[in-house]
Amino acid sequence: MSRASASLIPMKTVITRVRVETENVKTYYVRLPEGVELPKPGQFNMLYVHGVGEVPISVSDVDADSRAVAHTTRFAGSVTRTFALLKEGDIVGFRGPYGVGWPIELVTNKNLVLIAGGIGLPPLRPVIREIARNRSAYGKLIILYGARTPKDLIFSYEYREYESIPDTELLLTVDVPSEEWKGNSGVVTNLVKVVNVNPDETYAFVCGPEVMMRQATQELLRKGFKTNRIYLSLERRMKCGVGLCGHCQMGPYFVCKHGPVFPLWFISKYFWVDQI
Amino acid sequence: MSVSGLYVGHTKGIEMIFNELKRLDYVVVGYKVEEDVLKLRELNSFEELASGVEDVQNPGRYYLVRGKFSRHGPDSLKRFFYPPTLTLFSISPKWDMSMPDYVNRKIAFLGIKPCDLVALKVLDRVLLNVDEYYTRLRRNTALIIENCTAPGNTCFCATMSTGPRARDSFDLAYTRLDSRLVLEAGSDLGLRLLSLLEVEPIDDSTYRDFETVMRKASEKARAGFELSELPELLELNIGSKAFKEVAGKCLGCANCNMVCPTCFCFDVLDVPKIDGFADRVRVWDGCLNFTYAQVAGGHFRSDLWARYRHFVLHKFTYWIKQFGTYGCVGCGRCITWCPTGIDLRESVKKVLRGDVDE
């Protein structure tokens, strides 16, 4: 079969590894089909489950040597709920990589604040890995992450690793603390208030539920961040991933094609409009 | 682009054009009366082409009466190149995928109006050489246009600069003036069809008649707003209460999306079969549907007024930024086929005027 630039036909591939993250989140490593380029941080792929459907999932890790790409998924919708049944060796369909990712090249010699909410951390994880790999190329790294409860904190097994990256801070918060929880509670936006960086020398990458991104963005603006220093990874309904089906439009932008990562200045005319 | 200039013949020529297209192995498609509606269908004989009927179109109203000139029905060319349901691929239990064989038949459209020709050009910008299915089905198409001498009550092609006269991208365009037929060819096929007919270069008095008819049609097919600065003005009024007021009449049925000749949004359905095979099927979707902007974790446009606003802004503002052209061709179908008769022309004017009953 021919494959047009905007092909809607998936390529067959295999799940090489499944990792349980939380009660309703797992990470699926999928082998990249032949001829497919390595996804960049912030890009996503369309994963197809036979006879069930297709969903857009951001890339949470790339293993260049084995050409395995991680997709961290919460079982939330009709398709992702069936992901819970998938195991190593199962076949899935793959299309991608799609979209515009995080502009890491801009952050050279600058500080970076990552603000993640819930399932918004996985798309930022490749950024953390990139900075860890080329530590001297970047300034200070601050990771702010909030989840609903301590049990919902994704990748908790590697927080020590994050903290051991030189000149790096990790601040966690939960909406609903448990008895054992000693850390911050409340929304992740509160953590933005305590960040102490020079906004002219710093970029902010934000990923999470839309409400949280709005609040975090307002807080960053209050701190003096300019609209060309704030980048957001937007979420929308996506059925095609290639700018054809129309569902992911935000104003004139197809989030799947022009995004999902946008600088705030680019979308500020629409971002604040109710139900745009 | 006219490649011939204007010629005059007789309306009998339309039948000769039909016969020649058939002889050239084209499937000829035109408007045919079915269930008291004009429908775009394959014509087996010339007699099937609607004649002696007129479609009366008003907001929320459509019916046929005896008359001289028929315009269009709910169907547009979209149905043929971008069908309402289309199987993207079938997959076996062993993951063998196969795409149905979309035969690209030679299709000739006879008597479609300039607005629908431009709608096809708009769809081409969106889908041609991008979507493999559309691209495949779109090949081998002949377009014989009937210029619009009597626009209907919901038409506003003149405002959108899409009619009432076709300007380019046709094989042949004709205009009925009583029993005379003004013709111009726009391609080699058009020249070939024209050479079969008994025609003369247009004379002064016919040309004046032609100009008069086109001018009057043009005066009728106006929306009452101007395009200049419209994209910016609508966007600047994105917070207008007018959207909420107009959408108060909206049912969210998405009829407007379905009859629009340029709406291209689709959903994909998975159809598992009992034998372990499955199909992925593409179906038309529309921004007025409730589920359109719904995700597993929430809903981006749960209020109907926001979905209606998106429809209006997409057609007149976003489309320009996305594809360099308006998404609206002024065919008026969304006005005619709206069950509650919401008039897009009035909606736009209401937003621009900013006069809303508080």
Whether B293 has its CB under 8 Å from any CB of chain A: the answer is yes
Mutate to test the interface with A, among B280, B285, B294, B307 (most CBs of A within 10 A): B280
Query: What was the pLDDT predicted at A255?
Result: 96
Distance from CA of B150 to the nearest CA of A (A): 34
Using CB atoms and an 8 Å cut-off, which of residues 8-67 of chain B contact chain A? Answer: none
- Report d(CA A77, CA A227) in Å as an integer: 33
Amino acid letter for position A109: N
Q: With DSSP H G I counted as helix, E B as strand and the rest as coil, what are the percentages for chain B, rounded to 5?
A: 35, 25, 40
CB atoms A246 and B99 under 8 Å: no
The partner residue sitting opposite B88, judged by closest CB among A9, A50, A251, is: A9
- Give the pLDDT mean for A92-120: 97
Distance from CA of B265 to the nearest CA of A (A): 5
CA-wise closest residue to A183 among A159, A208, A212: A159
Whether B310 has its CB under 8 Å from any CB of chain A: the answer is yes
Whether B89 has its CB under 8 Å from any CB of chain A: the answer is yes
Alpha carbon of B185 to those of B14, B127, B214: distances in Å?
14, 26, 18
Distance from CA of A14 to the nearest CA of B (A): 12
pTM to 2 decimal places = 0.95
pLDDT in tens, chain B (358 residues): 788 899 999 999 999 999 999 999 999 999 999 999 999 999 999 999 999 999 999 999 999 999 999 999 999 999 999 999 999 999 999 999 999 888 778 999 999 999 999 999 999 999 999 999 999 999 999 999 999 999 999 999 999 999 999 999 999 999 999 999 999 999 999 999 999 999 999 999 999 999 999 999 999 999 999 999 999 999 999 999 999 999 999 999 999 999 999 999 999 999 999 999 999 999 999 999 999 998 887 899 999 999 999 999 999 999 999 999 999 999 999 999 999 999 999 999 999 998 665 4
Question: Do residues B285 and B265 touch, judged by C-beta distance below 8 A?
Answer: yes
CA-wise closest residue to A236 among A275, A201, A266: A275
Reading phi first (left if > 0) and then psi (alpha if -120 to 50, else beta), residue B59 is in: beta
Instruction: Enumerate the residues of chain B whose CB falls inside 8 A of the CB of residue A209.
Output: 297-298
CA–chain centroid gap for B132, Å, is 21
Strands A25-31 and A68-74: antiparallel
Query: What was the pLDDT predicted at B2?
Result: 82
Question: Do residues B333 and B74 touch, judged by C-beta distance below 8 A?
Answer: yes
Return all residues near A150 (Cβ < 8 A) that are at least 6 apart.
A174, A177, A178, A180, A181
- Give the pLDDT mean for A127-156: 97
Residue B7 burial by Cβ neighbours in a 10 Å radius (0-12, 13-18, 19+): buried
* DSSP string computed for B19-59: HHHHHTTPEEEEEEEETTEEEEEE-SSGGGS--SEEEEEET
Give, for A145, the enclosing helix (H) or strand (E): strand A141-147
**Helices within chain B (DSSP H only):** 13-23, 78-81, 114-127, 132-138, 157-160, 188-196, 204-220, 230-236, 242-247, 255-259, 304-313, 319-323, 333-336, 344-353
CA–chain centroid gap for B130, Å, is 20
The phi, psi pair for B286, rounded to 5°, reads: -145, 150
CB atoms A237 and B235 under 8 Å: no
Torsion sign (Cα): B249, B254, B258, B264: positive
Half-sphere exposure of B307 (CA within 13 A, CB side): 26
Strands B27-34 and B107-112: parallel
Query: What was the pLDDT predicted at A2?
Result: 47
Strand partners, B30: B41
Distance from CA of B136 to the nearest CA of A (A): 11
pLDDT tens, position by position, B96-124:
999 988 877 899 999 999 999 999 999 99
Distance from CA of B318 to the nearest CA of A (A): 4
Whether B109 has its CB under 8 Å from any CB of chain A: the answer is no
The partner residue sitting opposite A52, judged by closest CB among B270, B298, B310, is: B270
- Report d(CA A121, CA A39) in Å as an integer: 17
Instruction: Enumerate the residues of chain B whose CB falls inside 8 A of the CB of residue A210.
Output: 298, 300
CB atoms A237 and B293 under 8 Å: yes
Query: What was the pLDDT predicted at B356?
Result: 61
* DSSP string computed for A202-255: EEEEEES-HHHHHHHHHHHHHTT--TTSEEEE-----SSSSS-S-TTEETTEEH
Torsion sign (Cα): B22, B24, B25, B26: negative
Tokens coding B358: 């508080």
The partner residue sitting opposite B272, judged by closest CB among A8, A51, A251, is: A51
CB atoms B268 and A237 under 8 Å: no
- Report d(CA B209, CA B193) in Å as an integer: 24
- Report d(CA B339, CA A60) in Å as an integer: 47
3-class secondary-structure state, position B184:
strand
Whether B131 has its CB under 8 Å from any CB of chain A: the answer is yes
Tokens coding B274: 């009992």
Whether B274 has its CB under 8 Å from any CB of chain A: the answer is no
The partner residue sitting opposite A275, judged by closest CB among B89, B129, B301, is: B301
- Whether A3 shows a pLDDT value over 70: the answer reads no
- Whether A35 shows a pLDDT value over 80: the answer reads yes
CB atoms B131 and A244 under 8 Å: yes
Query: What was the pLDDT predicted at B355?
Result: 63
Mutate to test the interface with A, among B260, B300, B301, B325 (most CBs of A within 10 A): B300
CB atoms B265 and A245 under 8 Å: yes
The phi, psi pair for B173, rounded to 5°, reads: -125, 135
CB atoms A254 and B322 under 8 Å: yes
Query: What was the pLDDT predicted at A1?
Result: 44
CB atoms B266 and A54 under 8 Å: no
Amino acid letter for position A10: P
Query: What was the pLDDT predicted at B296?
Result: 84
Mutate to test the interface with B, among A54, A81, A249 (most CBs of B within 10 A): A249
Whether B287 has its CB under 8 Å from any CB of chain A: the answer is yes
Query: What was the pLDDT predicted at A5?
Result: 64
Return all residues near B35 (Cβ < 8 A) that are at least 6 apart.
none
CB atoms B268 and A54 under 8 Å: yes
Using CB atoms and an 8 Å cut-off, which of residues 232-271 of chain B contact chain A? Answer: 235, 238-239, 264-268, 270
Query: What was the pLDDT predicted at A4?
Result: 56
Query: What was the pLDDT predicted at B338?
Result: 98
pLDDT tens, position by position, A258-268:
999 999 999 99
Residue A7 burial by Cβ neighbours in a 10 Å radius (0-12, 13-18, 19+): middle
Instruction: Enumerate the residues of chain A whose CB falls inside 8 A of the CB of residue B317.
Output: 252
Average pLDDT, chain A: 95
Question: Do residues A119 and A209 touch, judged by C-beta distance below 8 A?
Answer: no
Which residue carries 């009859």 as its tokens? B259
